[in-house]
């Protein structure tokens, strides 16, 4: 462990030419050049352990070597790169593999839509389809939800700062309290049920409810399995389309391929993106219960639905899911992570931290605003990349690539622990 010493590469070009909207390059002020597994290097040669993993897009690590070989070979041989939604061999192979490795073993019969290469595309397509199917307009989203930055996705996102960026009032959505939003004794499903059933509640019967099983951006809020089952039941009883946005929590982040597997529910529509491409390449899927697949041809489209390079790496990445080994590894590493985080939190009680999350999506929520930000800033100075989440950036989030080994995980956590220690010391100095 060390504090990085070399002079940081200049960000002049970014500061002068890129829009003010840029953000992560402000939190991690250096210029990155290379990456491998859970490690990034910058232009000054400094090395960083990556506990951010492309916000969940790099579950299989940076430049995963197996995927890389397939990718290089495909490009070398002039496989079709861009194909709109024409049929290609690469896409065919992906569809077959996805059915064989993911859908069939789980007893799922979803139809697969390629809605455009981003999570927001998947969310937008899911909302459109749910409205078309039900001929209703309202969609229920949850407090602290994050579903993306396009107008439809924003309308079911909780964050006021992001919402106000729309520049127009957001319509056709209702925000309901997420599991635990009002404390343990308040049953938010009861509340929602009441609103939906009561003819005087002031909301229409919704077309859909869209939910994340864990709210990553919203502060690592975890929905209980029982809560999810009651949510599914509520949807079934009222013919409401249940959409699980598994963009960040899917592809193994919580220990199973889909984050909802542990709860036993089967959503009507599932949104996947981020790590589905395997290599960090833009790709997204919308999985649709067959009865709901009433799209007209071309009713939703997009230029980059056929990113074949992503199909190649996506197919290859499914290797990780051919048996249960990877899943077990994630859960084991998640337990290690949890133990260490809990230990840190109790070692430095003055920081008033609370461990949240499961699998390799965990974090520490701090009572005092600013602590998580200081922690991440300090971590970066010591060669560890991690980000905050929560609307007040009150949670320090740990989401390493799933392929990280225990050594790497412990190295990162050692840095984190050192940072906690320094912050706690500062705290004493201030007190």
Q: Determine which residue in the list 4, 44, 68, 229 makes contact with its own copies, applying CB under 8 A.
A: 68
- Contact by Cβ (8 Å): 275, 321: no
Among residues 207, 212, 186, which one has the least CA distance to residue 196?
Answer: 207
- Contact by Cβ (8 Å): 250, 276: yes
Residues between 211 and 230 that touch its own copies (CB under 8 A) = 218-219
- Work out whether 38 is an interface residue with its own copies (CB under 8 A): no
Nearer to its own copies, 165 or 224 (CB): 165
Q: Which stretch binds its own copies (CB under 8 A): 187-195, 325-333, 345-353, 374-382?
A: 187-195
Cα atoms in the 13 Å half-sphere on the side-chain side of 119: 23
Distance of CA 406 to the CA centre of its chain: 22
280, burial (CB in 10 Å: exposed 0-12, middle 13-18, buried 19+): buried
Q: Determine which residue in the list 59, 101, 102, 144 makes contact with its own copies, applying CB under 8 A.
A: 144
| Least Cβ distance, residue 71 to its own copies (angstroms) | 6
Q: Find the Cα–Cα–Cα–Cα dihedral 87, 290, 270, 85, rounded to 10°.
A: 20
Q: Find the Cα–Cα–Cα–Cα dihedral 30, 160, 139, 170, rounded to 10°.
A: -110
Residues between 369 and 408 that touch its own copies (CB under 8 A) = 390-392
Q: Determine which residue in the list 169, 184, 349, 429 makes contact with its own copies, applying CB under 8 A.
A: 169
Nearer to its own copies, 264 or 370 (CB): 370
- Work out whether 180 is an interface residue with its own copies (CB under 8 A): no
Helix (H, G, I), strand (E, B) or coil at 361: strand
| Least Cβ distance, residue 421 to its own copies (angstroms) | 27
Among residues 282, 265, 266, 262, which one has the least CA distance to residue 274?
Answer: 282
- Work out whether 307 is an interface residue with its own copies (CB under 8 A): yes
Nearer to its own copies, 197 or 324 (CB): 197
| Least Cβ distance, residue 27 to its own copies (angstroms) | 8
Residues between 249 and 278 that touch its own copies (CB under 8 A) = 273-274
- Work out whether 182 is an interface residue with its own copies (CB under 8 A): yes
- Contact by Cβ (8 Å): 319, 278: no
Name the packing angle between helices 188-197 and 225-237 (round to 10°). 10
Q: Determine which residue in the list 4, 29, 238, 261 makes contact with its own copies, applying CB under 8 A.
A: 29
Residues between 190 and 209 that touch its own copies (CB under 8 A) = 191, 194-195, 198-205, 207
- Contact by Cβ (8 Å): 153, 124: yes
| Least Cβ distance, residue 428 to its own copies (angstroms) | 30
Nearer to its own copies, 317 or 344 (CB): 317
- Work out whether 280 is an interface residue with its own copies (CB under 8 A): yes
Q: Determine which residue in the list 4, 44, 66, 81 makes contact with its own copies, applying CB under 8 A.
A: 81
Of all helices (H) and strands (E), which one includes residue 234?
Answer: helix 225-237
- For the record, the structure tokens of 16 come out as 């002068």
């Amino acid at each position: 462990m060390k504090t990085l010493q070399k002079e940081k590469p200049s960000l002049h070009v970014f500061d002068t030419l890129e829009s003010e909207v840029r953000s992560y390059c402000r939190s991690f002020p250096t210029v990155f050049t290379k990456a491998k597994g859970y490690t990034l290097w910058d232009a000054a040669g400094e090395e960083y352990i990556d506990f951010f993993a492309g916000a969940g897009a790099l579950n299989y690590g940076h430049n995963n070597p197996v995927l890389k070989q397939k990718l290089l070979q495909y490009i070398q041989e002039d496989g079709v790169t861009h194909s709109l939604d024409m049929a290609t061999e690469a896409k065919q192979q992906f569809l077959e593999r996805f059915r064989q490795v993911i859908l069939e073993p789980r007893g799922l019969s979803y139809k697969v839509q390629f809605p455009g290469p981003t999570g927001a595309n998947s969310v937008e397509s899911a909302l459109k389809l749910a409205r078309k199917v039900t001929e209703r307009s309202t969609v229920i989203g949850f407090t602290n939800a994050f579903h993306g930055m396009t107008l439809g996705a924003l309308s079911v996102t909780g964050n006021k700062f992001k919402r106000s960026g729309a520049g127009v009032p957001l319509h056709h959505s209702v925000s309901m309290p997420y599991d635990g939003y009002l404390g343990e004794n308040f049953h938010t499903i009861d509340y929602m049920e009441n609103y939906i059933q009561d003819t005087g509640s002031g909301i229409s019967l919704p077309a859909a409810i869209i939910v994340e099983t864990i709210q990553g951006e919203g502060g690592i809020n975890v929905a209980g399995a029982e809560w999810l089952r009651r949510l599914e039941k509520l949807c079934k009883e009222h013919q409401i389309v249940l959409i699980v946005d598994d963009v960040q929590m899917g592809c193994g982040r919580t220990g199973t391929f889909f984050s909802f597997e542990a709860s036993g529910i089967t959503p009507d529509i599932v949104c996947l993106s981020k790590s589905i491409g395997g290599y960090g390449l833009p790709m997204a899927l919308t999985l649709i219960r067959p009865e709901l697949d009433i799209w007209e041809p071309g009713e939703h489209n997009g230029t980059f639905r056929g990113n074949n390079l992503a199909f190649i790496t996506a197919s290859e990445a499914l290797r990780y899911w051919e048996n249960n080994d990877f899943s077990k590894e994630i859960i084991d590493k998640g337990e290690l992570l949890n133990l260490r985080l809990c230990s840190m939190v109790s070692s430095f009680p003055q920081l008033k931290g609370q461990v949240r999350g499961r699998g390799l999506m965990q974090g520490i929520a701090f009572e005092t605003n600013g602590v998580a930000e200081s922690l991440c800033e300090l971590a970066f100075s010591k060669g560890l990349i991690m980000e905050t989440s929560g609307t007040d950036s009150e949670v320090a989030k740990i989401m390493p690539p799933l392929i990280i080994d225990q050594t790497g995980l412990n190295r990162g956590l050692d840095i984190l622990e050192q940072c906690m220690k320094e912050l706690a010391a500062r705290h004493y100095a201030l007190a």
